[in-house]
Structure 1
Amino acid sequence: MAQRRSEWSDRQEIHEVVLRYCRGIDRVDMDLVRSAYHPGAIDHHTGFTGTVEEYLAWVEPLLRARARTGGTMHVVGNHLVELHGDEAVSETYGTSVHWGEPAHSARANFTSGVRFVDHMTYRDGRWAISERWAVREWTRSDAGRFMPKEGDGPAGRRDGQDPLTLLQQSITSRKAHS
């Protein structure tokens, strides 16, 4: 049965597209990143413009290399959606934090203020990005500013051992056995 759409549900689904993209990038989950786009979508990033498949081929090796010694974290702030039927303009303000080795490298350790300007479209029963402009508003070097954790505790991972992945697997496993 088809879900009934409303302005609220459209806005919520569009917001979740943005969040799925950020989680996918930060967890190096390319299937999740891909799910934020429609097939054939176009992405414009600093240093890259092309289709979503070309973007994934470009960004995945960069993320995997970074994940060996660090990572990324995207924090979403303001999010405004202008609905126009089955099309929407979505503007998301945020910060993108990048860290890695060597610790003194500005290219490995920086924070950027970003805006995701997205042309979202509703087709095939879902909202997704048709074209994205990842606008970098500013960048600052964080070289030499990161410190080690003060003690033991949960740590983010870019593999199947991240606390998020373990929790998801635990819940789906329990549901499968009940």
Structure 2
Amino acid sequence: MAHANTIETMLARQDISDCIMRYARGIDRGDEALLLSCYWEDAIEVHGPAYNGPAVPYLKEAAGRMRQNQPVMQHFIGNVHIEFDGSDTAFVETYILTFARFPKDGEEFDTLTGARAFDRFERREGEWRIAHRRAVFDWNRDAPASETWCLGAFDTAHPDMVMGRKAPEDLTYQRG
């Protein structure tokens, strides 16, 4: 049900959107503190058959796995639909496109997944965070990795070629 925006709801929408973007950055960079800032301590995460339970242990394990294994991963945020239920609860559907590279039987595979997150956000003491997240998987495409960096146009050994890394070594954590 659509409601007229007020200054309060516009600020809430921005806070919720910022939280969703922090999640994408946090998971891709393996930044545990950033991930934990997106969820309430008592939040629940339902991530398909991979996990169903308290969010904090899931987030800590995921961040550790990202830092240890250094997988290539990017979450792209698409449509975000926010419906408020009172002044301190919002139901949010977020479209997510995820690229990841995983090894299987000694070979690297690229996987592209279209999914959505269905979140219940709660505002506590003025701050919006995820209280409950349930992932919905819409489609997936897996293929053997084939990385030639624009058919060789980019030299990954060149000193000006900045490659993505995990936190805190990634360029996004540097200031100056």
Q: Tell me the TM-score normalised to structure 2 length.
A: 0.82
Give me the whole-angstrom Cα distance separating, in 1, the residues matched to 2:107 and 2:31: 28
Aligned residues: CA RMSD:
1.9
- Amino acid across the alignment from 1:99: R
Match of 1:121 in 2: 122
Tell me which protein shows more helix as a share of its residues: 1
Match of 2:167 in 1: 159
Q: Tell me the TM-score normalised to structure 1 length.
A: 0.82
**Candidates 19, 22, 25, aligned match of 1:20:** 22
Query: Residue deviations 1:69-121, cap 9 Å, x none?
Result: x3210000111100122100111102011014468344xx3111010110001
**Candidates 78, 98, 101, aligned match of 1:96:** 98
Moved segments of 4+, more than 4 Å: 100-103
Tell me which protein shows more strand as a share of its residues: 2
Give me the whole-angstrom Cα distance separating, in 1, the residues matched to 2:35 and 2:147: 27
Match of 2:44 in 1: 42
> Between Structure 1 and Structure 2, how many residues are aligned?
160
Identity of matched residues, %: 28
Unaligned runs of 5+ in 2: 1-6
Given that 1:92 and 1:116 are in contact with CA atoms closer than 8 Å, whether structure 2 keeps it comes out as: yes
Between 13-22 and 143-152, the greater mean CA deviation after superposition: 143-152
Measured after TM superposition, the shift of residue 135 of structure 1 is 1.4
Matches within 5 A, 1:69-84: 70-84=71-85
- Residue 60 (str. 1) matches residue 63 (str. 2): yes
Given that 1:26 and 1:72 are in contact with CA atoms closer than 8 Å, whether structure 2 keeps it comes out as: yes
- Amino acid across the alignment from 2:24: C
